[in-house]
Amino acid sequence: MTGLPEAGVRRSNARGGLLNMSLRLQDLTLVEQVVLALSFVLIGVLLIDPFLLERSRVLAPGARRAFQAITDIGRSNWMLIPAGSAVALALVLKRTHQGFRNAAGYGLIASTIGFVFVSVGGAGLIANLAKEIIGRARPKLFDSLGPFDFQPFAFNPDHASFPSGHATNIFALATVIVMLWPRGKVLLYTVAAWIAASRVLIGQHYFTDVVAGAILGAAFPYFVRSRFAARRWLFEPIPRGGYRLRGGRTRNWLGWPGSSTGGAGRGFSATGAIDGD
């Protein structure tokens, strides 16, 4: 019987050790953080990138065809063209249909789709600018140039590998939908991860290109949300910090935790967690 309490103590000590580790990482100086970040980058470029490139070259033909079939889901045109058209239509309808309820409904539609458009389009624009500025060679040039060949401002598709635009787009879209529909987080990020991974597995990008794109795509919508919330477009700040969707009915329809059981003060924190859980 004494084994159970001892096991509980060991688990508690392990959790405490992890907590202390996280606190120590937060206490690192700026120089230490930079050194740690550069170390991870070098590990990725020197070890993971060549390894996964080699694996992609021997990928089974059937698997390659499957990944080639899904990879273009990461393109932004199918996201942005319908989104931009829908925003324009909603704004026109808002002006032409009289009545507060109609105007509010079309305003909600316009702000929601506008949030998608600005988040995905903005992240993709940053990724495309970074590609041209950085000018990293694509994996197909690895044998002749290696992983460290950079030609800034080359404006050449063969030197536009970092970051991955597809990974940026699909993670931006996934993050936007998660902000609106929190219960879909696991499904959406899993799908986004596979689509982003397809860029590595078909040899179009290095692993580090995709990771950088995923980070950019997942981070930029948080900036957009803060700007929208400051103007009370779609989101609003909550007293304890963080943000939530405007309108209790909207939150309830999208299945926000606590939206139908008195969770009026709950929402997403600045880091994306749901306050009150």
Q: 101-127, pLDDT tens digit by residue?
A: 555 556 677 778 888 889 999 999 999
Which sequence spans correspond to the domains of the chain? 73-235
What is the torsion angle, in degrees rounded to the nearest 10, for the CA atoms of residue 155, residue 160, residue 166 and residue 169?
-60
Give pLDDT < 50 ranges for the chain.
Answer: 1, 9, 18-19, 21, 99-100, 261-277
**Residue 61, preceding bond cis, omega within 30 degrees?**
no
Res 271: pLDDT:
42
Angle at 54 (CA atoms; ends 52, 56), nearest 5 degrees: 70
- Distance between CA atoms of residues 102 and 215, nearest Å: 38
CATH number 1.20.144.10 is the correct assignment for the domain at 73-235: yes
Res 95: pLDDT:
54
* Model pLDDT for residues 230-268, shown as the tens digit of each residue: 888 888 888 777 887 777 766 666 666 655 544 444 444
What is the torsion angle, in degrees rounded to the nearest 10, for the CA atoms of residue 36, residue 148, residue 201 and residue 126?
70
- Distance between CA atoms of residues 67 and 229, nearest Å: 38
The strand ranges marked E within the chain are 235-237, 243-245
- Work out the burial of residue 236: count CB atoms within 10 Å of its CB; fewer than 13 is exposed, 13-18 middle, 19 or more buried: middle
The secondary structure of the chain in percent helix, strand, coil, rounded to multiples of 5, reads 70, 5, 25
- Distance between CA atoms of residues 213 and 75, nearest Å: 13
Res 264: pLDDT:
43
Work out the end-to-end distance of the chain between its first and last CA atoms, rounded to an integer number of angstroms. 33
Res 244: pLDDT:
78
Res 274: pLDDT:
40
> CB of 221 within 8 A of CB of 210?
no
Res 87: pLDDT:
58
